Amino acid sequence: MSMQAIIDEGEKYLLHAYNRNNVVFDRGQGVYLYDIDGKKYLDFCAGIAVFALGYANKEYNDAIKGQIDKLLHTSNLFYSEPTVKAAKTIVEATGLNSVFFTNSGAEAIEGAIKAAKKYAYNKNKSAKHEIIAFEHSFHGRTLGALSVTGNIKYREPFLNDNVSVKFANYNDIDSVKALLNDKTCAIILETVQGEGGIYPASESFIKEIREICDKNDIAMILDEIQCGMGRSGKMFAYEHYGVKPDIVTLAKALGCGVPIGAFVLNEKYSKNSLVPGDHGTTYGGNPFVTAAVNEVFNQFKKRNILENVNEVSVYLETKLDELVKEYDFLLLRRGKGLMQGLVFDTDKKTPAEVSKKALENGLVIITAGSNVLRFLPPLIITKEDVDEMIVKLRASF
């Protein structure tokens, strides 16, 4: 089928819940994608921060192919070795205590909220608890995850009374204190806000939230679905701040292409929240997807992914800062590691039009919020890839 024929059929048969770009991708290799006409694209989106290892990584592909031939699925009524191994690896990497695997990021958020609510329920047998979340946050599209998502445009038609949420301003600790009361059971935030516009948390903000949660015995939930798994330059972004959350949520690059998420709990929440009967999933963390997770962690070690992120991100920042100096429609750069944003003066130019033009020029790059161009390359990129991106980006300006 031709590209246009596939697009036309897609528009006919898929619910129009996305404004998709007019490209049909066919295959990937390293940091490049190819459409079905053979056109090559440098990928600075990585399937929205998923493909940390790049495309067609042979060892990763072999690991999941091997598991396909062995055993794909058993349900969570039984044990499987890849699942147990992945849980152990994640516990050791996060410094937390136990893992619940999910199929997506949104489900990881659902589970984290349920764990926080159950812990609070156990204390006073009341379910009337409140959660503090943040403006510009993004936590996913299921009803619970949407309830803690800051963007009112996403939330408004689906407002949900089951989860009582108040929104504070990110990096503004006084706005958090103003919402805190004896019903608060959790504070949930991204360590670096992604979708809302690439805002890293300040050190004092994260530390003060940790203190508030300790003092009031409430859950500090960090959503690292986008900023975790090495993207910030540390395996988990909270390591930059010298704190640990009570619960962390992971997905996206956890599986590097297979659908898996997780919420990971510290000892307090592992032992005093969800018990058998409280939560479940048929597919979550089956041997297929956890075999992928195990190989992802292998590859991170083997390819020194964190070192690469730290080295190349400094270069990327320098190059983006040069653009900010040069172009009057660019206001500033924000980000951490290989999660960067360029903020636009949208009266002069919009990131959406640049993203569209970039695709024509063979560069895949997406936006965040209404005024930010978002850089989420595979974590294996080199300085040469950054140079190539800058050339294509300039052409798209």
- Counting contacts by CB under 6 A, is residue 105 touching ligand PLP? yes
Q: Does 233 engage in binding with ligand PLP (CB under 6 A)? A: no
Counting contacts by CB under 6 A, is residue 336 touching ligand PLP? Answer: no
Q: How far is the CB of 113 from ligand PLP (least distance, A)?
A: 12
- Exposed, middle or buried by CB within 10 Å (0-12, 13-18, 19+), for 309? buried
Please identify, among the stretches 103-111, 163-171, 176-184, 316-324, the one whose residues bind ligand PLP according to the rule CB under 6 A: 103-111
CA–CA dist 382, 183 (Å, integer): 49
Is 150 an interacting residue with respect to ligand PLP (CB under 6 A)? no
Of 43, 130, 195, 385, the residue at the interface with ligand PLP (CB under 6 A) is: 195
- The encoded tokens of residue 170 equal 């990110």
Question: Judged by CB under 6 A, does residue 226 bind ligand PLP?
Answer: yes
Kindly identify the residues of this chain, within the stretch 234-253, that bind ligand PLP according to CB under 6 A.
Answer: 251-252
Query: Which residue number places its CB atom closest to ligand PLP?
Result: 105
Binding piece for ligand PLP, criterion CB under 6 A, among 28-36, 99-107, 211-219, 235-243 = 99-107
Per DSSP bridges, beta strands 219-223 and 247-250 are: parallel
* Number of residues near ligand PLP (by CB under 6 A): 15
Q: How far, in whole angstroms, is CA 16 from its chain's centroid?
A: 24
Selected range binding ligand PLP among 134-142, 164-172, 207-215, 319-327, rule: CB under 6 A: 134-142
Under rule CB under 6 A, residue 225 binds ligand PLP = yes
Q: Specify burial of residue 151 (Cβ count, 10 A radius: 0-12, 13-18, 19+).
A: middle
Interface with ligand PLP, residue 140, by CB under 6 A = yes
- A 10 A CB-CB count for 390 gives 16
Cα(345)–Cα(348) distance, rounded to whole angstroms? 6
Task: Indicate the residue among 32 and 263 with the shorter CB distance to ligand PLP.
Answer: 263
Interacting residues toward ligand PLP by CB under 6 A: 104-106, 109, 138-140, 190, 194-195, 223, 225-226, 251-252
